[in-house]
């Protein structure tokens, strides 16, 4: 018996499989970040336009902190797909990514505050906080603005977003930042020990 079937039996993961396949095709034909982000944003927008494909095991909030679940990692680690799950009041510290990324809100909403490094090295807000609601996609990256803080946009329930990054994000060395600009190294890892089986077409 397939060990992963209990996680995916009640869910049709075909939309995620199709997204992964199409995104891999995009990476194969283009190394230009602008095209990847533009076309990838449209692909991610199509994926999050429906909310019937994410196995519930990868949408479970934790009362202690937000969760980052790996849904797929390219065999050459060229891109990864993760679900972020936020409980009420949960937020990230100010942090960077060091690779390009796409963020699409599947359920609920996210509050996003971008930051930049000022001339004196401190980290300061760059513009107003933005509320990303379900169906919205935002891009991040070293060339377009890579430092931000994200929080659950709902006070009464969890929110879920789907992120795509230009690498195996759980293994990328990144940093959080104090207000004075001091970085603190971290590697995020993932909350899950198994992946959704998106490749089983037996049913």
Binding site per annotation, positions for Fe cation: 95, 97, 148
On whether the CB atoms of residues 49 and 105 are closer than 8 A, the answer is no
* Tens-digit pLDDT profile for residues 112-137: 999 999 999 999 999 999 999 999 99
CA distances (Å), 20 to each of 13, 43, 91, 94, 154, in order?
11, 10, 27, 29, 29
For residues 86-111, average pLDDT? 97
pLDDT given for residue 169 in this prediction: 98
* Tens-digit pLDDT profile for residues 135-178: 999 999 999 999 999 999 999 999 999 999 999 999 999 999 99
Q: What's the sign of the alpha-carbon dihedral 91, 94, 96, 100?
A: positive
Report the C-alpha gap between 61 and 70 in whole angstroms.
Answer: 14
pLDDT given for residue 31 in this prediction: 79
CA distances (Å), 86 to each of 6, 119, 148, 158, in order?
24, 33, 16, 5
Binding site per annotation, positions: 95, 97, 148
With cut-offs at 50, 70 and 90, classify the pLDDT of residue 8: very low
Q: How many CA atoms lie within 13 A of 163 on its CB side?
A: 25
Sorted by where each begins, the domain ranges of the chain are: 12-186
With cut-offs at 50, 70 and 90, classify the pLDDT of residue 10: low
* Tens-digit pLDDT profile for residues 66-94: 999 999 999 999 999 999 999 999 999 99
On whether the CB atoms of residues 155 and 89 are closer than 8 A, the answer is yes
> What three-state secondary structure class fits 185?
strand
For residues 41-46, average pLDDT? 98
Per CATH, domain 12-186 is 2.40.50.840:
no
Report the C-alpha gap between 68 and 179 in whole angstroms.
Answer: 25
Q: What is the model's pTM?
A: 0.93
- Whether the pLDDT of residue 7 is over 60: the answer is no
CB proximity list for 85: less than 8 A, separation 6 or greater: 58, 59, 60, 61, 62, 66, 67, 69, 158, 159, 160
Q: Which of 101, 149, 142, 150 is nearest to 123 (CA)?
A: 149
Return the percentage of the chain with pLDDT > 90, whole number. Answer: 91
């Amino acid at each position: 018996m397939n060990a992963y079937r209990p996680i995916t039996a009640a869910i049709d993961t075909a939309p995620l499989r199709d997204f992964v396949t199409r995104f891999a095709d995009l990476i194969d034909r283009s190394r230009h970040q602008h095209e990847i982000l533009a076309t990838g944003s449209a692909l991610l927008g199509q994926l999050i336009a429906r909310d019937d494909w994410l196995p519930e095991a990868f949408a479970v909030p934790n009362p202690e902190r937000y969760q980052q679940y790996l849904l797929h990692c390219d065999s050459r680690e060229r891109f990864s797909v993760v679900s972020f799950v936020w409980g009420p009041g949960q937020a990230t510290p100010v942090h960077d990514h060091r690779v390009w990324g796409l963020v699409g809100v599947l359920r609920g909403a996210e509050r996003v505050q971008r930051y930049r490094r000022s001339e004196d090295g401190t980290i300061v807000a760059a513009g107003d906080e933005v509320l990303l609601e379900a169906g919205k996609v935002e891009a991040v990256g070293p060339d377009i603005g890579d430092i931000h803080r994200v929080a659950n946009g709902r006070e009464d329930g969890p929110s879920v977003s789907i992120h795509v990054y230009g690498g195996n994000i759980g293994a990328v060395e990144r940093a959080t930042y104090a207000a004075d600009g001091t970085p603190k190294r971290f590697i995020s890892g993932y909350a899950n020990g198994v992946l959704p089986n998106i490749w089983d077409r037996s049913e």
